[in-house]
Structure 1
Amino acid sequence: MAETVPFRSQLLPSLTLILLSILQSDSATSRIIHLPNQSDSKNFTISVIDFGAVGDGVHYDTVPIQTAIDSCPPTTHCRVTFPPGTYLTATLRLKSGVVLDVQRNATILGGTKLEDYPEESDKWYVVLAEEAENVGITGGGEINGQGLRFVKRFDERKNVMVSWNRTGACLGDECRPRLVGFIGCRNVKVWDVKLTEPAYWCLHVVRCVNTSILDVSIYGNFDSPNNDGIDIEDSNNTVITRCKINTGDDAICPKTSTGPLYNLTATDCWIRTKSSAIKLGSASWFDFKGLVFDNITIVESHRGLGLQIRDGGNVSDITFSNINISTRYYDPSWWGRAEPIYVTTCPRDSNTKAGSISNIQFVNITATSENGVFLSGSKGGVLSHLKFVNVNLTYRRWTNYADGLLDYRPGCQGLVNHSTAGIMMEHIEGLEVENINMRWSEDRTGRWNNPLYFRPSTVNNISFLNFHSGLYKL
């Protein structure tokens, strides 16, 4: 027999009753849901529990959760709340005006089966919003992608991950679902939430305008590849602040695949990664312009600040300021060779061209690293108007991985044997260095005796003011 389930919010006399038949995966019992008309017609709150979600982490709650989302009236600000519990689900789709309120001690748990996700692999997300406005996620709880369930073989060098390409669902070894995606949206806000264990990319913002990401904690297994923290793709007017990202792959990664990326600001963040803490690229078919990264702490990462331009897009007007970096070697199967700063442009392959990089500033940077700064343009894409002001670089070894390699990957020259230098430069037109203090450990390998390395025929118009390099003793 159907039962009537009242909402906890107060009902008004003008209440309109809507009969919703909810068929859960674990029960054929139907429920009549009374949809409230709250006193503030512009603000609306409903709970997934009232729609039949059980939150036991075993039975799928997809239908009641999606029904709750779909029940939000149009032209309102609607919060869909998740009380404490674990809500196993297939893909959830947000719509305009909806904010998921995942409360503390509540977890949205992504399914691990191919049938949990849409047919189109580019829509494989645990939570997805498309062409929506005024959407977001908050509440202090967690969204978990169960990434470790996708590990095919655990390996301390780099885990081997499950790929659904064998089913024909998509190609390549990165054929598995992302965690949270906003595609073609306006006015996105993600705040006060934990995003953990993505099977692939964690938070993906694609072709969006006006996005705020603040007080978000991201954790991905340190040995699993491709579990990027935040990927901002073809999106404009983005702010990232007070985020903590601890993951295996790139942490904050702006990309341009189908259009340019303008006006991105990232501040007050803490990052640890086995790849690049901040990386522009490598998807870089269109321009990047007007990006600011300020007050960032980067610890034990394989690469600190990286520009990896491979597809012909141009980069200009980027500022990195007030950043503290420590970088170290990890297994060379991961891109990166402990560079605190890495600025490169070259063609990915014979079908692409090098883009230009210009007007890049590094101000108030402190780094302790196992390798030097790498600045590399190419014949078709020089680096121009680079500026370093108030930079302290300390070079010393503390891991046992081999050094003496330059890493151009992806594409280009790959890994190249080369002696270590404090700053490696090639294909540069215009470089200003002011107030630089470079310190070297006394290293018995003899590799630590070259503060600057450059080919004069490719480096022009450089200026050094108050540059100091010297040894220090541990």
Structure 2
Amino acid sequence: MDETTGRVRVERNGADGEPATDAFQRAIDAAADAGGGTVSVPSGEYVIGTIELASDVTIRLEAGATVKPARDRAAYVDAHVGPDGERPFVLADGVENVSIVGDGVFDGRGTEFMEMDAPIRQHSGESEGHPLVSNAPHRARQGEEFLSRERGTDGWPVAKPGFRPGPMFHFVDCDGVRIRDVTLRDMPAWTISLEGCVDADVRGVDIRNHELIPNCDGVAVVNSTNVHVSDCTIESCDDAITICAAAAGRPCESVTVTNCTLSSSACAIKFGSETAGDIRNCTFQNCVVSDTNRGLGIQHRDSGDIENVLFADIVVETGLLPGPWWGKGEPIYVTSVPRDDATELGTLRNVRFSNVVARSENGAFVYGHGDADVSGVRLHGVRLAIEGGEHADAVGGNADLQPTAVTAPIYELDVAAVHCENVADVALRDVSVEWGDDVPEYCTHAIRATDVDGLVVDGFSGRQAHRESAAAAIGLDGATDSAIRASRAAAGTGTFLSVADTEGDRLFANNDLVDAAESIDGDHEFRCTGNVPPVAYAGEKETGRRG
């Protein structure tokens, strides 16, 4: 160790191409024995198996350094084994003040590990009875043609090998983690996993994984506190950033994500699906999501509570993908569904999406199962532009609730630009909807609210998907205590509002209905005032007050 700099240089051991695991571990241990320091990795190519970080040690990859994982399973520790037998690549377990920094590259060799010419066989741990739909049989619109291999498997995730390493950077019960500036590419499984950590920063990191390699999530934050992800570019097959609480009794909280560009074949930012513990107080701001299957998502499936989540100032572009992906092009996705019949589902409350501009092939989806308690969802300043796409016939027109076994994980559902079902205290303010000329026939309402208690629509503008359609711009079915105000029917609107089996109708006020052929269809008790043209209330002309 250089006592003047506090650095240890990694020296190669063995012939070129042989593992340098021992050389890395000796350098880490030497720095730790000296009370801490920096392990410097010079320019060159290195192959290693599992290395274990020590407290107060920094790994610094110098420019030109490339570190790759060994192919042999025997090069890895037999600990923290994953669902398909994965082992960690860089492991930090119960240590403090550890860092990975520098200008070098970790190359995960994912395309070498995976069976790139074969489509995925089944999800991890799932039944062979329904290998490509999680937990239960589907009821997709396409019937037996849904996920039929006879239609081809181009664009499907690829098959898993007998062995692959992962998580690649696994931090467990660590206090003080810093990952900065390095490039992480082509990972064969989970990239960065922060499990039970406190005070972790991931900053300026480029993660560029293959779009068809399953489980290669970018950053996974699990049961951790005070985590900051900023100024990163993340491209992944699985979720780019995922927030979850796999264990009860230890919350995942105080997580911030800012200034990131994200793309994913799964979900760009996802909560869950592991939600056994509580997740709270998380913010996501100033991000760009593109080339993504699902944009901003919450998969609540277990007994933990999720609360106080803010998404703001985000651009989202999503599209339908062929094959067995979780997600159907939703730009915004909030669901609470029991994982199985034994689940005692927690609550989901206070989730806000503000200043979001989205272009997608599906609508925003806010859904609570009959056993769910979902309340306080807000969409403020959200613009949705919905278009058709090449995979609509193969996979579109379905709700995707994976993973769950209490109902069909995938079932036929006409698409609304904003679908809200079995939730309470929902506010849609300054929401605008635009439909492309090529949207499929299964696209219907701009807003659909089914069994919603306490709906406020304020400042909405838009129409139904198809100008000639009988679907209304806003459809209420079984909704209670609803108010619709200061909204505008776009040109081409047929019926602006359809009503069925509603109760406690409140205000229908100050709406611009000039371009609607019909204002309200169905029996209602809204107090109608200030609308142009005037709208009758309970058989009376609009006068500005009842009676």
Give the TM interval when normalised to the shorter protein. 0.7 to 0.9
Which AA in structure 2 matches 1:279? K
Q: Which residue of 2 aligns with 1:438?
A: 433
In structure 1, what is the equivalent of residue 484 of structure 2? Answer: none
CA distance in 1, matches of 2:330, 2:348: 18
**Counterpart of 1:171?**
none
CA contact (8 A) 2:32 2:54 kept: no
The separation in 1 between residues aligned to 2:30 and 2:439, in whole angstroms, is 69
Tell me, yes or no, if the aligned pair for 1:368 and 1:395 is still in contact at 8 Å: yes
Partner of 1:421: 416
Instruction: Specify which of 102, 118, 121 is matched with residue 139 of structure 1.
Output: 102
Aligned to 1:162: 161
Name the structure 2 match of 1:266: 257
- AA aligned opposite 2:104: G
Alignment correspondent of 1:20: none
Name the SS of the counterpart of 1:60 in structure 2: coil
Preserved contact between residue 440 and residue 448 of structure 1 (Cα < 8 Å):
no
**What secondary structure sits across from 2:431 in the alignment?**
strand
Could you tell me whether the CA contact under 8 Å between 2:32 and 2:57 is conserved in 1? no
1:118 equivalent among 55, 59, 77:
77
Secondary structure of the 1:59 match is coil
1:85 aligns with 2:44: yes
The C-alpha deviation readout for 1:79-137, integer Å capped at 9, x for no partner, is 10111111111101110011100111101111121101112243822111111111010
Summarize the Cα distance change of 1:125–1:445 in structure 2 as closer, same or farther, 3 Å threshold: closer
1:329 is matched with 320
Query: In the alignment, which of 155, 165, 168 is matched to residue 179 of structure 1?
Result: 168
**Paired position in structure 2 for 1:247:** 236
Any conservation in 1 of the 2:388–2:440 contact (CA below 8 Å)?
A: no
Is there any run of 5+ residues in structure 1 with no aligned partner, and where?
1-34, 165-174
Which of 115, 119, 141 in structure 2 is aligned with 1:152? 115
Q: Counterparts of 1:292 and 1:362 in 2: how far apart (Å)?
A: 10
Distance (whole Å) between structure 2 residues aligned to residue 73 and residue 339 of structure 1:
47
Give the secondary structure class of the aligned counterpart of 1:70: helix
Corresponding residue of 2:135:
none
Q: Offset at 1:377?
A: 1.0
| Distance of 1:81 and 1:315 partners within structure 2 | 41
Q: Please tell me the residue identity of whatever aligns with 1:159.
A: V
- Amino acid corresponding to residue 407 of structure 1 in structure 2: D
Q: Matched residue of 1:348: which SS?
A: coil
Q: In the TM superposition, what is the alpha-carbon distance from 1:320 to its structure 2 partner?
A: 0.1
Deviations 1:260-298 (A, max 9, x none): 101000000001110000000001101110000001100
C-alpha displacement of 1:424: 1.2
Match of residue 234 from structure 1 = 223
Unpaired runs of at least 5, structure 2: 120-153, 466-489, 492-547
SS of 2:103's partner is: coil
**Mapped contact 2:356–2:382 kept (Cα < 8 A):** yes
**Contact 1:53–1:87 (8 Å) recurs in 2:** no
Q: CA offset at residue 59 of structure 1? A: 1.6
Q: Distance in 2 between matches of 1:236 and 1:326?
A: 30
1:128 counterpart = 2:122: no
* Among 291, 309, 314, the residue aligned to 2:305: 314
- Deviation string 1:415-438 (CA, Å, 9 cap, x unpaired) is 101111111111111011111111
Q: By percentage of residues, which structure has more strand?
A: 1
Aligned residue identity for 1:48: V
SS in 1 for 2:24: helix
For 1:72 and 1:214, locate their aligned partners in 2 and report how far apart those are by CA, in whole Å: 24
Matched residue count: 420
Q: Is 1:369 matched with 2:355? A: no
Distance 1:177 1:432 in 2: 41
Give the equivalent residue in structure 1 for 2:447.
Answer: 452
Distance 2:116 2:182 in 1: 30
Q: Supply the AA of the counterpart residue of 2:462.
A: S
Q: How far apart are 1:53 and its partner, in Å?
A: 4.3
Question: What SS does structure 2 have at the residue aligned with 1:331?
Answer: coil
Deviates more, 1:403-412 or 1:277-286: 403-412
Does residue 1:275 correspond to 2:266, yes or no? yes
Contact 2:294 2:329 in 1 (8 A): yes
Secondary structure, aligned partner of 2:27:
helix
CA spacing shift, 1:444–1:404, aligned 2, 3 Å:
closer
Instruction: Please give the secondary structure, in 1, of the residue aligned with 2:381.
Output: strand
1:11 alignment partner in structure 2:
none
% same residue: 27
Residue 71, structure 1, aligned to residue 30, structure 2: yes
The correspondence for 2:3, drawn from 20, 37, 48, is 37
| Partner SS, residue 125 of structure 1 | coil
Task: Please tell me the residue identity of whatever aligns with 2:269.
Answer: I
Q: What code does the residue aligned with 2:9 have? A: S
| RMSD, matched Cα | 1.8
Kindly indicate whether the alpha-carbon contact (under 8 Å) linking 1:432 and 1:463 is maintained by their aligned counterparts in 2. yes
Corresponding position: 1:100 with 2:59: yes
In structure 2, distance between residues paired with 1:363 and 1:76? 47
Which letter maps to 1:129? Answer: A
Tell me the alpha carbon deviations over residues 212-249 of structure 1, each in whole angstroms, 9 at most, x when there is no partner.
00000111111111111100111000000001011111
CA distance in structure 2 between the aligned counterparts of 1:209 and 1:422, rounded to whole angstroms: 39
Query: How far, CA to CA, are the matches of 1:378 and 1:206 in structure 2?
Result: 29
CA distance in 1, matches of 2:32, 2:449: 63
The residue identity in structure 1 corresponding to 2:112 is: R
Is residue 355–residue 380 contact of structure 1 (8 Å, CA) maintained in 2? Answer: no
When residues 279 and 444 of structure 1 are mapped into structure 2, their CA distance, relative to the original with a 3 A threshold, is closer
Provide the C-alpha distance between the structure 1 equivalents of 2:439 and 2:44, rounded to a whole number of angstroms: 57
1:405 is aligned to 398
Letter in 1 for 2:188: A
Shift of 1:398: 2.9
TM-score by length of 1: 0.85
Structure 1 residues 448 and 113: CA distance shift in structure 2, 3 A = same
Q: Is the 8 A contact 1:310 1:353 kept in 2?
A: no
Deviations 1:164-187 (A, max 9, x none): 4xxxxxxxxxx7532111111011
